[in-house]
């Protein structure tokens, strides 16, 4: 029997026109620097294939992912522009990496040797990027050792082609830029050392979303917009120097309406009790779909031109909202959980602040659990 296609009761709207707008505004800000668009984690929950197709049409220079599987998925979707894997890989993944024409990140001699051997077997040069750890303390070769490693790769590994070098800022989204400037200084020192050695590397990049907004000294010839591509600011402390339009909206529909009398409770644990007679509505979304349990008794939604509260505990698949007395609601009515209508909005940043997390977590989590509708 053929499966009947039905419209989901809760979904994400992804506004691709807003994505294009954000990219244009970022380009105005960085004044000629290339764009490495970060589409890891399924484009931060927005859908890597659809987002990458648009970015490719918009002529970004590279796409950045975290895993080989993500690069494979983009190639299967027909994406042809360069894709770089920003995180590390293991030697056992090299053949798959070459097959999907991805550019790996190298931080040590061991991986560099393994890549060179694979290139020799395949009789082709493999493009690589070298990551410099200037203070993140995570991936990358320490900045004091970087020029020596790169010099050795250039001299002894003929099947590797140095395509880029980069570093990653640990605190660019904070108001105090002291440590970020120290990282920038260390990265520039590595670049200077390589220039003295006459080693030319096409791409040099350091600026993530936060640095694009507030550290023009870190642009070099390539920048890495991630969160700001999707219309959200990384923290409350970053400059709002680039106007952004949110790309994601979260919507649901009422599946139940119920009269609640004063004193009656709602949901698990009876953590909310009505202070007056009211009407509540049930929406088919919960923490299994990425709507955080920490929004219990603290979240808000937009219904018929006003904000109304989420009441009681967020459940696995359901939440309850308080519509007040005589709300004129009907089953199937649309409710906005993230997004806006008219002058009212509930932003990703506000939602993150309510539960004490960051915007990245909100969009990535929702993107894993919900279907998407793309608006052009």
Q: With DSSP H G I counted as helix, E B as strand and the rest as coil, what are the percentages for the chain, rounded to 5?
A: 35, 25, 40
Instruction: Reply yes or no on whether 232 is catalytic.
Output: no
The CA-CA-CA angle for residues 282, 286, 292, to 5°, reads 125
CB 182 within 8 A of CB 221: no
Please tell me the distance from the alpha carbon of residue 217 to that of residue 68, in angstroms, as a whole number: 31
Query: Which candidate, 266, 288, 283, places its Cα nearest to that of 318?
Result: 283
Report whether 61 contacts 34 (CB < 8 A): yes
| Torsional sign, CA 16, 19, 23, 28 | positive
Q: Whole-angstrom Cα distance, residue 162 to residue 127? A: 6
Q: Which residue has the tokens 């990496």?
A: 97
Pick the closest to residue 166 from 191, 198, 144 (CA basis): 191
- Compute the Cα dihedral for 137, 140, 141, 147 and give only its sign: negative
Choosing from 40, 127, 154, 251, which is the catalytic residue?
Answer: 40
Q: Please confirm, yes or no, whether 40 is among the known catalytic residues.
A: yes
The two tokens of residue 272 are 């909310």
Catalytic residue from among 124, 268, 306, 368 = 268
Catalytic residues: 40, 268
């Amino acid at each position: 029997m053929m499966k009947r296609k039905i419209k989901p009761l809760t979904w994400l709207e992804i506004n691709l026109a807003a994505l294009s707008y954000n990219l244009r505004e970022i380009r105005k800000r960085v004044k000629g620097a290339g764009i490495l668009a970060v589409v890891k984690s399924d484009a931060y929950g927005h859908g890597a294939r659809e987002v990458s197709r648009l970015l490719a049409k918009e002529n970004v220079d590279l796409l950045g992912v975290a895993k080989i599987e993500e690069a494979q998925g983009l190639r299967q979707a027909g994406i042809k522009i360069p894709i770089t894997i920003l995180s590390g890989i293991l030697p056992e993944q090299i053949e798959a990496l070459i097959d999907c024409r991805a550019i790996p990140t190298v931080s040590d001699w061991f991986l560099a040797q393994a890549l060179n051997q694979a290139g020799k077997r395949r009789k082709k040069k493999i493009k690589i990027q070298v990551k410099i750890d200037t203070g993140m303390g995570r991936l990358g070769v320490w900045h004091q050792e970087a020029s020596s490693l790169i010099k050795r790769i250039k001299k002894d590994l003929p099947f590797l082609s140095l395509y880029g070098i980069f570093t990653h800022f640990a605190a660019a989204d904070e108001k105090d830029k002291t440590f970020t400037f120290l990282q920038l200084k260390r990265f520039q020192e590595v670049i200077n050392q390589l220039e003295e050695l006459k080693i030319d590397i096409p791409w040099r990049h350091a600026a993530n979303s936060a640095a694009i907004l507030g550290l023009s000294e870190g642009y070099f010839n390539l920048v890495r917009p991630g969160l700001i591509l999707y219309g959200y600011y990384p923290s409350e402390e970053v400059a709002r120097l680039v106007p952004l339009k949110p790309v994601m909206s979260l919507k649901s529909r009422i599946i139940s309406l119920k009269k609640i009398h004063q004193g009656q409770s709602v949901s698990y644990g009876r953590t909310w009790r009505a202070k007056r007679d009211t009407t509540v509505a049930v929406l088919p979304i919960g923490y299994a779909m990425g709507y955080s349990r920490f929004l219990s008794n603290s979240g808000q939604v937009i219904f018929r031109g006003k904000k109304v509260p989420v009441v009681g505990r967020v459940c696995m698949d359901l939440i309850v909202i308080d519509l007040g007395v005589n709300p004129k609601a009907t089953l199937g009515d649309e409710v906005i959980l993230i997004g806006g209508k008219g002058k009212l909005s509930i932003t990703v940043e506000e939602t993150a602040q309510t539960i004490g997390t960051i915007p990245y977590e909100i969009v990535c989590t929702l993107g894993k659990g919900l279907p998407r509708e793309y608006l052009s």
